[in-house]
Chain A
Amino acid sequence: MLEISGLSKDFSGFLALSDVNLSVREGERHAVIGPNGAGKSTLFNAISGYLKPTTGRVHLSGNDITGEKPHTLVRRGMGRSFQRVNIFPDLTVHENVQAALLAHHKRMFDLFTPGAKLYRDETNAIIEQVGLSEEAARVSGTLAYGKQKQLEFALSLATDPKILLLDEPTAGMSPRETMEILALIKRIQEARGLTLVFTEHDMEFVFAIADRLTVLVQGTPLATGSPEEVRDNEDVQRVYLGGHGAA
């Protein structure tokens, strides 16, 4: 589904990614792990159109999407969420999700249809799916952090993605919030048959959810495989997991 070949990103001399090859199969939950500064976020930005890769190609469902802008990639079925909360803080939860749906249904240049009532049911369905029904009328910037991440996830879902890139979905969350979002992501991924690519620090989370892992070290993939394979890989143990198991 997603094929990355020979991808590099050079930040004026600093090679953040070098020769990354990665292949994600349809419907799988693929984790990209690695120490801080390994290039995980850069990789996501290069795939999702926020950064232009220096060399290499990215293919999505057979189409070359290298260097395409985010708004066209979304139309091709690529959704993404962000490490830091990235929502519309002055809009209510309902207005947030509705704006995403208006975009998805290409109502951007609809100048005269009153906007308030459009896609109300669809909006409510998505809000319910991520468990924010009680907060629907709240201004989203006033929500607790975990709830804002749930909303962030809802925004990505509203674009009806085939593949979803989640950049550290549990960053900054309490253990309880982490377990909640874990259950949520798993449930929705299965219900929608989504392909999931995510980065994560929390190893428990990774091993609980991922079908396959890629370990990224200094901008290069060190190993790819099932969680067991990666856990048993000697290079990975030496470089990344070290002696202390769940780093």
Chain B
Amino acid sequence: MSAARTSLLVGVLMTAVFAAVPFFFGDYGVYLGAEILIYILFALAFNLMLGQGGLVSFGHAAYFAIASYAVAILLTTYSWPLLPAFVVAVALSCAAAVVIGALCVRLTAIYFAMLTLAFSQLVWAIAFKWNAVTGGDEGFVGVSVPQYLAEPTGFFYFALAIVAVCAVLLWLITHSAFGRILRATKENPRRAEFLGINVRRIRLVTFVISGTFTGVAGALFAIFNRAVFVESAWWTKSAEVLVMTILGGVGSFFGPALGATVLILLDRLITEFTQYWPTVLAIILIAVLFFLPNGLIGAFRRGRSTGAGDA
């Protein structure tokens, strides 16, 4: 069917474009490309909740930061090898999402969003205060990473492989039986209950999947940045991924990836010319919200903008 084929084409094309980056750009381009890849994964994971589930999380920085700190601490303080450190770090984000999600899905709408925010600020406070382990407000610097990841191109392909695999998994989940049920709970949770769907359970599973993939992005980021700062758990980080997702388009699978790419590129480009980047960002956002209700990707697509059926 054509929707799946379109997605496959877009996915392969994007992977190919990214894979070619090291051949055409220098170290800075590769560095920027890796950062974009990480944020693409963050935004795709976030949009499973926002776009498919209609769940506004205002605290996704928590799951990003938990895995970031965990992978940094395990690699550096405890000298663990990469694979177990990575897996355990992601598992910790997953576990946090289980506990926090179980409490948050009892609420809806703005109360849900506020509770996710409260928990992420709690994670921030722990990271900030727990000096001995996290480095507190000075950050955790000097993450030791394996030699092959210390070199920009090596890390870039490592990140590309992981992000590509995660994107495929997220695409499958979005278009699975579960994904269809999730969309139904977004549109009409009450009716969904009367079809025998445990809406809270569906939302919790979504929360956990999203938090786990966010953890993968966070773990990658710690290795990429070789440092973790307490700002990564601050609420503005949660707002950033929300902006990326809305900018790109919540109604499509790849929209948030486009949003992440555009936002990071604009950020770098515009800060070179002006210190008023936030102002420019605000204007862009207002323009998108007014003129492109389906986000940047909506400008490229025609037809109805409902997630499940299309790219």
Contact = CB atoms under 8 A, between A and B. Distances in A.
Q: Do A and B bind each other?
A: yes
Interface of A: 48, 69-72, 74-75, 79-80, 82, 86-91, 95, 98-100, 102-104, 107-116, 118, 139, 155-156, 158-159
Contacts of A100: 195
A109 B197 CA distance: 10
A16 to B, nearest CB: 19
Given A89-B187, A95-B180, 5 more contacts: A86-B194, A87-B188, A108-B201, A116-B309, A155-B191
16 contacts: A71-B193, A71-B196, A79-B194, A99-B192, A99-B195, A102-B180, A103-B181, A108-B177, A108-B181, A108-B197, A110-B177, A111-B172, A111-B176, A112-B176, A139-B304, A159-B196
Contacts of A112: 172-173, 176
A90 B304 CA distance: 10
B188 A88 contact: yes
In the complex, the 4 A-B pairs of residues with the closest C-beta atoms, listed nearest first: A74-B196, A107-B177, A110-B177, A115-B180
A82 to B, nearest CB: 8
A103 B178 contact: no
A115 B196 CA distance: 18
Nearest to A108: B181
B180 A70 contact: no
B197 A71 contact: yes
B177 A102 contact: yes
Given A91-B306, A108-B181, A116 B195 contact: no
A87 B191 contact: yes
B191 A113 contact: no
Interface centre among B193, B201, B306 (most CB of A within 10 A): B193
Given A88-B187, A90-B306, A108-B177, A114 B197 contact: no
A109 B208 CA distance: 13
A31 to B, nearest CB: 21
Interface in B148-190: 172-173, 175-181, 183-184, 187-188, 190
Contacts of B192: 99, 103
Nearest to A139: B304
A159 B192 CA distance: 11
A156 B195 CA distance: 7
Contact of A70 (B4, B173, B194, B205): B194
A71 B199 contact: yes
Contacts of A74: 194-196
A203 to B, nearest CB: 27
B308 interface: yes
B187 A114 contact: no
A169 to B, nearest CB: 15
Contacts of A91: 183-184, 187, 306, 308
A178 B194 CA distance: 24
Contacts of A79: 194
B181 A99 contact: yes
A159 B195 contact: yes
Interface string B206-249: 00010000000000000000000000000000000000000000
Contacts of A109: 178, 205
A94 to B, nearest CB: 10
Contact of A71 (B178, B198, B209): B198
Contacts of A80: 194
A71 B185 CA distance: 12
A79 B304 CA distance: 31
Contacts of B1: 116
B194 A48 contact: yes
Contacts of A111: 172-173, 176, 178, 209
Given A95-B308, A109-B205, A115-B179, A88 B197 contact: no
Contacts of B193: 69-71
Contacts of A69: 193, 198
Interface in B240-270: none
B176 A104 contact: no
A114 B195 contact: no
Contacts of A116: 1, 3-4, 175, 308-309
Given A91-B183, A102-B177, A108-B177, A86 B188 contact: yes
Given A108-B197, A110-B178, A99 B184 contact: yes
Contacts of A88: 183-184, 187-188, 191
Contacts of B178: 107-111, 115
A210 B308 CA distance: 41
Contacts of A71: 193-199
A114 B176 contact: yes
B198 to A, nearest CB: 5
A22 B209 CA distance: 46
A75 B196 contact: yes
B202 interface: yes
Contacts of A72: 196
A82 B192 CA distance: 13
Interface string B287-311: 0000000000000000010101100
A115 B187 contact: no
B4 to A, nearest CB: 7
